[in-house]
Amino acid sequence: MAPSLLLTTTLLLLLRAPFLSQALTLTVVNNCPFTVWPAIQPNVGHPVLERGGFPLPTLSHRSFPAPDTTWSGRVWARTGCSHAHGGRFSCATGDCGGRLECGGLGGASPATLAQLGLHQGHADFSSYGVSLVDGFNVPMTVTPHEGKGVCPVVGCRADLLATCPPKLQLRSPAGHGPVVACKSGCEAFGTDELCCRNYYNSKSTCRPSSYSEFFKRACPATFTFAHDSPSLMHECSSPRELKVIFCH
């Protein structure tokens, strides 16, 4: 085959080849002045990462490879964990059924959530956001590294435990301990309007409340109620690393 024809054929094959995602590292960082127990829950059909949970001492991090195909799920911090009550593992916030390794289980609210979608679309997009829809337990940001396109740092840096309205406060031990988390209006009161259920389960009827506005004022770039749509649309292509940072 002539060199020019060989080159043309090679270029055509490259153009027609499916997009291959590059290696992506997920890193969980604990900047809190106490140990946290990160938890990871995949969406349905995706694999569990790092057995779903592990301890992370203060001022430490843990890095691990992300799946090399499309993956989505959530990450949160469990706090106040111990082997109490006859040796049973439990956490004051974010508990996943009394297990150290959540193994795909979700966590108890209230908890700050990082929501991730990896290797999406034709240009290996990563989408990510921080949600306070299920309340707040620690400050959190998601930080991408070496991505192409629009790759902002997003999250909630404020410590809302100090300013949480009394009706939303979760204390541990219950009733008289320190504030360990801040509930959503839905969790605190359970009404259809605050939970965006039934008649209120649409973008036109599910509206912000005074409780969601408390979270929004402190952390405007987060999701604060079920049909919220903050300015978080971004197209971060092929980042080398995504960092979920607690107490950032």
What is the C-alpha separation between 201 and 174, in angstroms, rounded? 32
What percentage of the chain carries pLDDT values higher than 90? 81
d(CA 101, CA 92): 16
The reported pLDDT for the residue numbered 85 is 65
Who wins on pLDDT, 168 or 14?
168
Cα Rg of the chain, angstroms: 21
Give the phi and the psi of residue 175 in degrees, each rounded to 5.
Answer: 90, -35
**Residue type, position 26, single letter:** L
State mean pLDDT over 13-31. 69
181 residue type, one letter:
A
Q: What is residue 142's predicted lDDT score, i.e. its pLDDT?
A: 96
22 in Cβ contact with 240 (< 8 Å): yes
Q: Quick one: average pLDDT of 118-130?
A: 92
Residue 5: is its pLDDT beyond 90?
no
How confident is the model over 122-139, as a mean pLDDT?
95
CA torsion sign for 99, 74, 196, 160 is positive
* Of 51 and 18, the one with more pLDDT: 51
Residues found in the chain: 248
The answer, yes or no, to whether residue 11 has pLDDT greater than 60, is no
DSSP state of 173: S
Residues sharing a CB contact under 8 Å with residue 154, sequence separation 6 or more, in sequence order: 128, 129, 130, 141, 142, 221, 222, 232
Conformational region of residue 31, where left means phi above 0, alpha means psi within -120 to 50, and beta covers everything else: alpha
pTM here? 0.88
Query: In 3D, which of 206, 184, 159 has the Cα closest to residue 109?
Result: 184
200-219 pLDDT, tens digit per residue, is: 999 999 999 999 999 999 99
